[in-house]
Amino acid sequence: MKTYFECIPCFVRQALDAVRLATDDEYVHEDVLRSILRAASEMDLRESPPVMGQHIHRMIRHLTGEKDPYRSIKDRFNEFALRLYPELRKKVERSTEPIETAVRLAIAGNIIDSGVNSEIDETNVHEAIEHALTEPLRADLKEFMKALDRAGSILYLGDNAGEIVFDRLLIEQMPLEKITFVVKAGPIINDACLADARKTGMTELVEVIDNGSDAPGTILNSCSERFRERFEKADLIIAKGQGNYETLSDVDKDIFFVLKAKCPVIAKQIGCEVGSLVFMRSSAQDWPALKQNTQRR
């Protein structure tokens, strides 16, 4: 997906959020802001938004010397989600449609996105769970189960810390031996890294690898050679969150995108309303129909 004009104000806001988290020094804030504006004035809009996101957050880490500004936010949401986990797991186990409930909860967890909303809190997560369990979900889960069954190897591209616990609920419903969970190689916003996979028990459940990159999505040419090989060889990709959708929507591969549409640009691109639960296959030809099947949130 290309970068839309509407993404630019959002980059600026996100940069401000991140630099304020990294330092209280207002001179650094201004320095970062001016650098971002210059970079944005020259950016290639054919690139996906995470290309700019990667650039912005690298610059902030460089200028502030703070290697992981979102560390405490990531810890907080890992711990919060782990506290919710037993109850959510019961919801899945007691459901008449466990896979559907697990998909819904995995989408709910996608609300934990500090890139879109720097002020996300526990109440938002509770609301997102409630919403995800009741709102329309247009998903052909039989097709999904069939794809899981046929695939020899599956890459599950993770998104954020905290959210990773919600992904665990879905992965537990899948053939574990086929799954490799993928995290970012270096800190980027509140995206899950290896430490988060360890803290949330993901490493005990399935193989976990990193993608060699610090982009907030999966920019293949920013990933390691080793990861790209795994990506190419995988029979099926499950791509979680907006960043993975933005970076992989034009990649020719069998991908299930699982996310909550949190911004108007993504919602418009997908053809749904902001707030919709999105579960769709890259090869599906019927996305525009989504629009009629989702509700405004």
Residues in the site for its own copies, rule: CB under 8 A? Answer: 5-6, 8-10, 12-13, 16, 29-30, 33-35, 37-38, 40-42, 45
DSSP string of 198-225, one letter each residue: HHTTHHHHSEEEE-S--SSS--GGGS-H
Whole-angstrom distance, CA of residue 206 vs CA of residue 214: 22
Q: Which CB, 236 or 263, lies closer to its own copies?
A: 263
**Least distance (Å) between residue 26 CB and its own copies:** 9
Please report which helix (H) or strand (E) contains residue 237, including its range.
strand 236-240
The neighbour count for residue 227, using CB atoms within 10 Å, is 20
Q: Which CB, 18 or 84, lies closer to its own copies?
A: 18
**Least distance (Å) between residue 14 CB and its own copies:** 9
Q: Which CB, 29 or 61, lies closer to its own copies?
A: 29
The neighbour count for residue 61, using CB atoms within 10 Å, is 20
Pairing of strands 207-210, 179-183: parallel
**Least distance (Å) between residue 2 CB and its own copies:** 12
**Least distance (Å) between residue 46 CB and its own copies:** 12
Q: Which CB, 10 or 108, lies closer to its own copies?
A: 10
Q: Contact at 8 Å (CB) between 219 and 247? A: yes
Residue 142 burial by CB count (10 A; 0-12/13-18/19+): exposed, middle or buried? Answer: exposed
Q: Which CB, 33 or 133, lies closer to its own copies?
A: 33
Whole-angstrom distance, CA of residue 149 vs CA of residue 212: 28
Please report which helix (H) or strand (E) contains residue 20, including its range.
helix 7-22
Q: Which CB, 39 or 133, lies closer to its own copies?
A: 39
